[in-house]
Amino acid sequence: MPTILAVDDSPSMRHMVTYALRRGGFEVIEACDGVDALAKAQGADVDLILSDVNMPQMDGISLVRELRALPAYSNIPILMLTTEMSTERKTEGRNAGANGWIIKPFDPDRLLATIHKVLG
Amino acid sequence: MPLEMAKGSGKQEFLDKRAAQLPPTLLGFSHIQRYWDARHQMAVAKIMPGQLYVTRHREMIVTVLGSCVSACVRDKVTGVGGMNHFMLPIQQEAARSSTPISDAARYGNWAMEMLINEILKQGGKRQTLEVKLFGGGKVLSGINHIDVGAKNIAFVTEYIGREGFAIADKDMGGTYARKILYFPATGAVEVLRISEQRNDQLVMREDDYGKRIDLQTQNDVELFNLPPRSPKKS
């Protein structure tokens, strides 16, 4: 069963995302910001990261950069799940090494379909 | 009519001058209607159902609520704050029963997160946010028997609790509409109750908004270059 690291500073959003992913058959590790995610990623075997962008401590874009610098995470898919829809932020995410951009409010079925597509 | 024309252009000039005096909006809020309020001697941003406004200046944010709710949120340290105005979508529940997470919850979460994120982006901190909640009146009349206001109140109250925020002030429920005047710089709020006779237009506007929410919940997925596939785990 693939493991997804779900990162969001909002407990409500983490709750919804985790619920949707578990129902879709994934194991989920939750993290509340970039710093928390970076620590949890290094202690687990993660298949995909789904991260918010605007977060305290370390935002999602910085998290992508930090993860991409780690050999174990150089090729793990990272999808951003965010309210941000500006081209500038998307480009920033893409340049940092993110593999996809999903705009909230997310549709659970479409989110799962996207993840399945990315995981192949 | 040279005299009237002169008068007209004079008025326009006056309005232009006033507009020039309004503090600049933050990125993404230039579409919000703003004007100068002589009584309060400050700029006013007027938000409609489905909109939100965040400012770091000494401004007033105004909205009129029927069964919709508004969260007034500000950072007590920096003074940056704003207001949203939303309701849970009215009609999609039955149509989308296969989805365990309701459209209502997804939309409500989004409406709240949009506001809070904008404040955090401007330097606000979750720990120092002050939250005040208003609206949720039972004002939808006639055909619509569901108490939409009560659903909105239940959602926003639960959301704030789950996020770990305290409710610093609230005025929700009842059978009347409200006009909310919010001053994010100080956190002050003035609530004016609106008499029933003047609710028709408001009810129509909210009803229309509630029905068109499903258009806004279309999500957008964009995939960039994908990393090379690694062997799948069993």
Cα–Cα distance, B106 to A31 (Å, whole number): 20
Chain B nearest-CA distance from A7, in A, is 15
Tens-place pLDDT, residues A58-95: 999 999 999 999 999 999 999 999 999 889 999 999 99
Domain B23-215, CATH among 3.10.20.310, 3.30.1330.200, 2.40.30.10, 3.40.50.10490:
3.30.1330.200
Q: By residue range, what is the domain housing residue A41?
A: 3-119
A100: which chain B residues are within 8 Å (Cβ-Cβ)?
221-224, 226
Q: Report the interhelical angle of B200-216 vs B103-121 (nearest 10°).
A: 90
A56's enclosing H/E stretch is none
Give the model confidence (pLDDT) of A15-59 as tens digits. Answer: 999 999 999 999 999 999 999 999 999 989 999 999 999 998 999
Taking CA–CA distances from A75, the nearest residue in chain B reads B227
* Average pLDDT of adjacent 10-residue blocks, chain B of 234 residues: 49 67 90 93 95 96 96 97 92 53 86 95 95 92 71 96 97 95 97 81 84 63 78 48
Query: Can you give the pLDDT at residue B198?
Result: 66
CATH number at residue A32: 3.40.50.2300
Whole-model pTM: value is 0.86
Instruction: Look up residue A85 and give its amino acid.
Output: M
- The CA distance from B72 to B82, in Å, is 6
Distance (Å) from the alpha carbon of B123 to chain A's nearest alpha carbon: 10
Which site among A10, A46, A57 would you substitute to test the B interface, given the most B Cβ atoms closer than 10 Å to its Cβ? A10
- The interface pTM score, or ipTM, of the predicted complex is 0.90
- B4 touches A: beta carbon within 8 Å: no
* B215 has a chain A CB within 8 A of its CB: no
| Number of domains within chain A | 1
Would you call B120 and A54 a contact, using CB atoms and an 8 Å cutoff?
Answer: yes
- With an 8 Å Cβ cutoff, are B217 and A13 in contact? no
